């Protein structure tokens, strides 16, 4: 929600007027000097939207504000051209509405279009978040990162490396939405106060690493590469088993962490729906984008959401730091998922992250069953992984 500065207004006053932490208002307005507000200047107020309302007979600003738990001046601020003493029935006015419910609707086939629409809505309601493009997919779709928080501890969480594990994307977006609601409404999640987390953690979220693959699984092959992907899929037009990117390269086998060893024993010698490592590490634009993101930011920990198994992996060749075990024990406690230190699988993003940065990295296998997991598991998975999400920030 945007408001225009009046004489005597300040960010602190807006904080009191809308019961919104002043640091969030400041963060929602980068580049604005709070001490030098100018009359008529537009200011973002996070956590609110504006509703159109038609004045009815008997309406007053006092009645409208009290019924919405707002001050009269909040209505005056967003309706500066109106005379508050003579509201005329039929007049269109704006009413501030605090956002208290999620806007992410994840219980659906959540393709790239759904993701970008939700990111746009979140950025509009919560302008203290930053949306960055970290790279592009093979077909040119922007790979988006959502960034928020002011702390020194850098945490990276990603989802949908694998196409038919797309349910991880709406789960991660729902977790982010809950976090944003908690921050702006000063409402704990499972007893955890989130404003201290916002102030101490710089959170990076990449909700869909493999947008081309997700769209392929959910919507079928796009016209430009239809014959090629059907050929890679052995002539089958059912893509529910497809994990790779649109070129048939498994993005979570693209990282230089025992890649040669994994390549030598791989049964896939060419593009395939799953498990093909490519001709070399980091040949695919999606994997390159994730590697560059990690190199540029030097994250303190990383979580990659996959499905399925209700377990998570936290070690790589003994290179993981001692704190990884402590974090793993907490993840296990809050989720009920089984902690597994080592598995006989290499060249993944988690492996490379641990190897190159010697920081805690985790592959979280959400849910149980056969991929793609059904949406009937959505609510259970969300509740299971919510504790891991929070622990990744407060540990």
Range of the domain at 10: 2-98
Burial class (CB in 10 A: 0-12, 13-18, 19+), 86: exposed
CATH number at residue 137: 3.40.630.10
Using the 3D structure, point to which of 98, 122, 155 is the last residue of a domain: 98
Dist. CA 233–CA 226, nearest whole Å: 11
Same domain, residue pair 174 and 74: no
CATH number at residue 84: 3.10.350.10
Does residue 262 lie in a domain region?
no
pLDDT of 185 reads: 97
Using the 3D structure, point to which of 98, 124, 149 is the last residue of a domain: 98
Does residue 65 lie in a domain region?
yes
Buried b (16+ CB within 10 A) or exposed e, 206-242: bbbbbbbbbbbbbeebeeebeeebeebbeeeeebeeb
Cβ contact 8:22 at 8 Å: no
Does residue 201 lie in a domain region?
yes
Does residue 272 lie in a domain region?
no
- Is residue 311 classed as helix, strand or coil in its secondary structure? strand
Does residue 348 lie in a domain region?
yes
Backbone angles phi, psi at 158, to 5 degrees: -135, 165
Dist. CA 249–CA 146, nearest whole Å: 25
Using the 3D structure, point to which of 98, 127, 148 is the last residue of a domain: 98
Same domain, residue pair 87 and 136: no
What is the chain's alpha carbon radius of gyration, rounded to the nearest angstrom? 24
pLDDT of 379 reads: 98
Same domain, residue pair 124 and 176: yes
pLDDT of 85 reads: 84
Cβ contact 319:257 at 8 Å: no
Same domain, residue pair 119 and 60: no
Same domain, residue pair 83 and 129: no
What residues in the chain have per-residue pLDDT under 70?
none
Does residue 127 lie in a domain region?
yes
Rounded to the nearest integer, the mean pLDDT of the chain is: 97
Same domain, residue pair 177 and 302: yes
Same domain, residue pair 204 and 302: yes
The catalytic site residues sit at 365
Same domain, residue pair 309 and 199: yes
Backbone angles phi, psi at 72, to 5 degrees: -60, -35
Same domain, residue pair 197 and 289: yes
If one counts the domains in the chain, the total is: 2
Does residue 140 lie in a domain region?
yes
Same domain, residue pair 288 and 355: yes
Model confidence pLDDT, tens digit, residues 221-258: 999 999 999 999 999 999 999 999 999 999 999 999 99
Same domain, residue pair 180 and 319: yes
pLDDT of 83 reads: 87
Cβ contact 243:370 at 8 Å: no
Does residue 16 lie in a domain region?
yes
Same domain, residue pair 80 and 155: no
pLDDT of 334 reads: 98
């Amino acid at each position: 929600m945007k408001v225009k500065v009046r004489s005597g207004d300040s960010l602190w006053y807006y904080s009191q007027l809308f019961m919104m932490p002043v640091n969030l208002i400041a963060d929602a307005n980068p580049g604005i000097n709070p001490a030098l507000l100018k009359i008529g200047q537009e200011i973002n107020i996070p956590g609110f939207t504006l509703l159109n309302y038609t004045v009815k007979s008997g309406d007053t600003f006092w009645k409208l504000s009290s019924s919405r738990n707002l001050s009269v001046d909040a209505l005056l601020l967003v309706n500066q051209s109106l005379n508050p003493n003579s509201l005329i029935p039929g007049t269109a006015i704006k009413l501030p509405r605090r956002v208290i419910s999620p806007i992410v609707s994840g219980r659906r086939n959540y393709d790239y279009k759904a993701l970008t629409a939700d990111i746009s809505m979140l950025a509009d309601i919560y302008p203290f978040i930053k949306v960055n493009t970290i790279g592009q997919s093979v077909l040119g779709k922007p790979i988006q990162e959502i960034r928020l928080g002011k702390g020194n501890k850098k945490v990276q969480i990603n989802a949908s490396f694998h196409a038919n594990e797309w349910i991880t994307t709406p789960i991660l977006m729902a977790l982010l939405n809950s976090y944003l609601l908690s921050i702006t409404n000063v409402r704990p999640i499972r007893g955890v106060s989130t404003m201290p987390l916002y102030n101490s953690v710089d959170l990076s979220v990449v909700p869909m690493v493999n947008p081309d693959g997700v769209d392929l699984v959910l919507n079928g092959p796009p016209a430009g590469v239809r014959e090629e992907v059907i050929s890679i899929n052995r002539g089958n037009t059912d893509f529910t088993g497809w994990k790779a990117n649109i070129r048939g390269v498994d993005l979570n086998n693209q990282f230089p962490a025992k890649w040669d060893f994994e390549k030598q024993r791989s049964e896939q010698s060419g593009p395939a729906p799953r498990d093909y490592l490519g001709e070399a590490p980091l040949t695919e634009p999606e994997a390159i984008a994730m590697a560059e993101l990690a190199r540029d930011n030097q994250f303190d920990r990383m979580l990659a959401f996959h499905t399925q198994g209700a377990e998570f992996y936290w070690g790589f060749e003994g290179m993981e730091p001692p704190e990884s075990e402590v974090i793993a024990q907490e993840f296990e406690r809050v989720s009920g998922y089984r902690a597994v230190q080592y598995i006989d699988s290499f060249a993944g993003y988690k492996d490379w992250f641990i190897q190159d940065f010697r920081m805690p990295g985790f592959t979280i296998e959400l849910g149980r069953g056969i991929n793609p997991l059904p949406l009937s598991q959505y609510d259970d998975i969300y509740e299971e992984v919510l504790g891991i999400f929070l622990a990744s920030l407060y540990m």
